[in-house]
Homo-oligomer: A and B are copies of this chain.
Amino acid sequence: MTTYCCGIDIGGTKMAVGIVTPEGETVALCSTGDHVRHDESGVMDLAADLVRQACAEAGIAVSDLTGVGVGMAGHMRSRDGIVLFTSNLDGFAGYPLTRELSSRLGGIRIILENDANCQAWAEYRYGAGMGHDDMVFVTVSTGIGAGIIINGRLYRGRTGTAGEIGHTIVEPNSDIACTCGNKGCFMALASTLNLDNIARQKSQRLPTRMFLNPNAHPGGRLDGRHIMAHARDGDAVALAIINEYADYLGIMLYNIFQIFNPSAIILGGGLMNWEFGYFERMQDKFTALAGDMLHDPMTVAKASIGAGSGVLGAASLLLDG
């Protein structure tokens, strides 16, 4: 008989629930965007409903599940199942998520994990990181998250917040602030968090058409797709941003290499779709910095699973993460 695990990815715009086999096949998938309009308890109710719905789609009972893995952005005290902090949704500070969700699902086993850790585990177990027992996964989009695999297990640290490489500081004198409250961390400088701010700074020195039409960017904020669109038009600020972001990510890869000497770094997130030499320049920067200190090849590859990795990773962490 096949064992099934359930994975839940609670994001800032979408909550997705999938039923997953030990081979990594997602046999049922449900999602909603309604959860953002609910408080903690309402989000848990919706999550439990989606688990039941997904189980029905898969033709199994909730009691047939090995358990439910939940991935969420922010700081999770995974061993206690408590959300310490999440940036994607209101509330949840100190929220006992596993207890609350388990009570809605007949006492089933629940584990809670940071979303980037879930994605890291998915890439290690089923994706581009397969076979790399010491690897680091980094996702670059509206923030920078990471997950660390050591000796074939997810490394969590004391509280469970290990892997926040995005918040390591690389420009101590920068005036570019991050949501963490500090300035000059990689997340402030090389995710889409501050694209608008950084583009405006660059527009004082470089020609750009980015800010001619204030209605072009919904909410007034640039995102990664806008940068690509302007880069296609040859916009100098857009191209400068692509280069600068690539250089910072190259430095981050180098720092990860010096610290972990991993066999692979796997890169996910929306910015991995950037063109105009972004990925290649990042690799070149890393190679130039590492020089003859790189004694064995280190794989640098894009994540291969994509959007479903949060659900897949959360589910498969129940098996041996």
Contacts and interface: CB of A to CB of B under 8 A. Distances in A.
Interface residues of A, number: 44
A259 B295 contact: no
A255 B181 CA distance: 14
Interface in A116-147: 134
Contact of A259 (B171, B259, B261): B259
Contacts of A160: 261
Interface in A48-92: 75, 77, 84
Contacts of A289: 169, 182
Contact of A293 (B157, B180, B259, B291): B180
Nearest to A180: B293
Interface of A: 75, 77, 84, 134, 148, 150-151, 155-165, 167-172, 180-182, 247-248, 251, 254-255, 258-263, 289, 291, 293, 295-296, 298
Given A134-B158, A168-B255, A259-B162, A295 B180 contact: no
A134 B156 CA distance: 10
B75 A293 contact: yes
Nearest to A167: B258
A172 B170 CA distance: 7
29 contacts: A75-B293, A75-B295, A134-B158, A148-B259, A150-B150, A150-B151, A151-B151, A156-B261, A157-B262, A158-B261, A158-B262, A158-B263, A158-B296, A159-B261, A159-B295, A160-B261, A162-B259, A162-B261, A163-B261, A164-B259, A165-B259, A168-B255, A168-B258, A168-B259, A169-B289, A172-B247, A180-B291, A181-B291, A182-B291
